C-alpha cells in the first residue's frame, strides 16, 4: 500500500499530496524484574502467565556486531525496552508532491519536520515513486553479498552452502519479488553471485561452475538441488483462492 501511495510523487503535475514518515522514540527502563513479577502477582494474574512473562524478559541474550559480524553473547541483567508514544522529529520525514508553497510553509512552521527525499528504505525495500531501476536494487545486491562474505570464513561444505542459498539468500530475493518485478539484469547478477558462492564458497571468485543455474534450480527428483528460482515467482505469482 505504501508503494501505491507514493506512486507519481516525482511528477510535476497531479493532485497535491503529503506523506509523513514518523519515527517513534524508544526508551529503555531499568526496571527490576522481581518488581514486575510482584506486581503481576498482586493483580492476581495466573501463575502460568507470570512464568511466561518471566521467561520472556529474563532469558534474553544480547550480542554486539563488530565489522558486520556478531561477536559473542551476554545475558541481560534487568530492564525493559518500550516505545514512548511521542514522535522523534529529527528522524521523521515529510514528503510533498505538488503542494502550494503556503501550505508547505505552514507545515514547516507548525511541526518542524525535515523534508525527505525519495527513495527511502521502508520494511527492507526501497520506497520509490517511479519505475524500479538498477540503482534501486543495489541494497538487495549488497545485502546478499554481505551475507555471503560473512559465510566465506566458516569453511562450509557444499551441502551447507546449498542450504544457506535455499533458506536465506533466495528468501531475501523472493521478499523483493513480492514487491517489485526485478530487472532481468538484477536477477542475472544475483544468480552469478550465488553460483560463485555455491561452487567456490566466495562470491568474488569467478569461474568453476559445474552446472548451469537453470539445472541447479530443478527439483531433486529431476537432477537439481531444489533451489527455488525467485524469478519464477514473478512469472507465476501465488494468489489466494477463496474456498
Q: Is there a cis peptide before residue 114, judged by omega within 30 degrees of 0?
A: no
Return the pLDDT at 41: 92
Which grid cell sits at 177?
519479488
In a domain, 192, yes or no: yes
In a domain, residue 172? The reply is: yes
In a domain, 241, yes or no: no
CA-based nearest residue to 189, from 206, 208, 167, 168: 206
Domain identity same for 173 and 222: yes
Domain count, the chain: 3
**CA-derived radius of gyration, the chain:** 24
Phi, psi (rounded to 5 degrees) for 88? -95, 100
Whether 33 and 149 map to the same domain: the answer is no
Indicate whether 222 and 139 sit together in one domain: yes
240 part of a folded domain: no
Residue 202 lies in a domain: yes
Please check whether residue 141 lies inside any domain of the structure: yes
Instruction: Please identify, among 127, 148, 179, the residue that sits at the C-terminal boundary of a domain.
Output: 127
Read out DSSP for 151-171?
Answer: HGGG---HHHHHHHIIIIIHH
Domain shared by 147 and 182, yes or no: yes
My answer on whether 121 and 18 are in the same domain is: yes
State how far the Cα of 152 lies from the Cα of 104, in Å rounded to an integer: 50
**Long-range contact set of residues 199-208: C-beta below 8 Å, sequence gap at least 24:** 201/151, 201/152, 201/155, 201/156, 201/161, 202/148, 202/152, 203/145, 203/148, 203/149, 203/152
Per-residue model confidence (pLDDT) at position 84: 65
Same-domain check for residues 92 and 189: no
Q: Which residues of the chain are modeled with pLDDT < 70?
A: 27-29, 68, 81-84, 230-243
Instruction: Dump pLDDT digits (tens) for 15-33.
Output: 888 888 888 777 666 778 8
For residue 101, give the DSSP letter.
Answer: H
Tell me the three state secondary structure of residue 95: strand
**In terms of domains, do 157 and 228 share one?**
yes
Q: Are residues 187 and 213 in the same domain?
A: yes
Residue 140 and residue 224 in one domain: yes
Q: What is the pLDDT of residue 230?
A: 65
State whether 117 and 217 are in the same domain: no
Which domain does 219 fall in, by range? 135-235
pLDDT at 145: 92
Residues 183 and 66 in one domain: no
The reply to whether 115 and 190 lie within a common domain is no
Distance, first Cα to last Cα, the chain: 25
- In order of 137, 172, 216, the CA distances from 142 in angstroms are 9, 12, 23
Question: Which are the contacts of 82, defined by CB distance < 8 A and separation ≥ 6?
Answer: 26, 27, 28, 29
Amino acid at each position: 500500500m505504501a508503494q501505491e501511495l507514493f506512486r507519481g510523487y516525482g511528477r510535476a503535475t497531479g493532485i497535491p499530496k503529503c506523506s509523513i514518515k514518523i519515527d517513534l522514540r524508544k526508551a529503555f527502563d531499568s526496571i527490576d524484574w522481581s518488581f514486575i513479577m510482584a506486581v503481576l502477582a498482586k493483580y492476581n494474574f495466573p501463575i502460568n502467565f507470570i512464568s511466561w512473562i518471566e521467561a520472556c524478559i529474563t532469558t534474553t541474550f544480547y550480542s554486539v556486531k563488530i565489522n558486520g559480524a556478531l561477536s559473542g553473547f551476554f545475558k541481560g541483567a534487568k530492564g525493559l525496552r518500550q516505545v514512548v508514544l511521542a514522535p522523534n522529529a529529527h528522524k521523521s520525514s515529510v514528503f510533498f508532491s505538488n503542494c502550494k508553497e503556503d501550505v508547505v510553509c505552514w507545515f514547516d512552521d507548525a511541526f518542524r519536520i525535515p523534508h525527505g527525499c525519495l527513495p527511502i528504505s521502508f520494511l527492507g525495500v526501497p520506497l520509490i515513486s517511479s519505475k524500479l531501476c538498477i540503482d534501486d536494487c543495489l541494497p538487495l545486491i549488497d545485502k546478499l553479498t554481505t551475507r555471503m562474505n560473512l559465510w566465506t570464513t566458516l569453511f562450509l561444505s557444499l551441502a551447507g552452502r546449498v542450504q544457506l542459498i535455499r533458506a536465506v539468500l533466495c528468501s531475501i530475493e523472493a521478499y523483493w519479488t513480492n514487491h517489485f518485478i526485478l530487472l532481468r539484469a538484477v536477477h542475472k547478477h544475483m544468480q552469478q553471485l550465488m553460483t560463485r558462492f555455491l561452487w567456490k564458497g566466495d562470491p568474488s571468485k569467478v569461474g568453476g561452475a559445474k552446472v548451469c543455474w537453470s539445472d541447479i534450480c530443478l527439483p531433486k527428483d529431476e537432477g537439481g538441488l531444489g533451489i527455488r528460482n525467485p524469478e519464477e515467482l514473478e512469472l507465476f505469482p501465488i494468489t489466494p483462492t477463496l474456498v
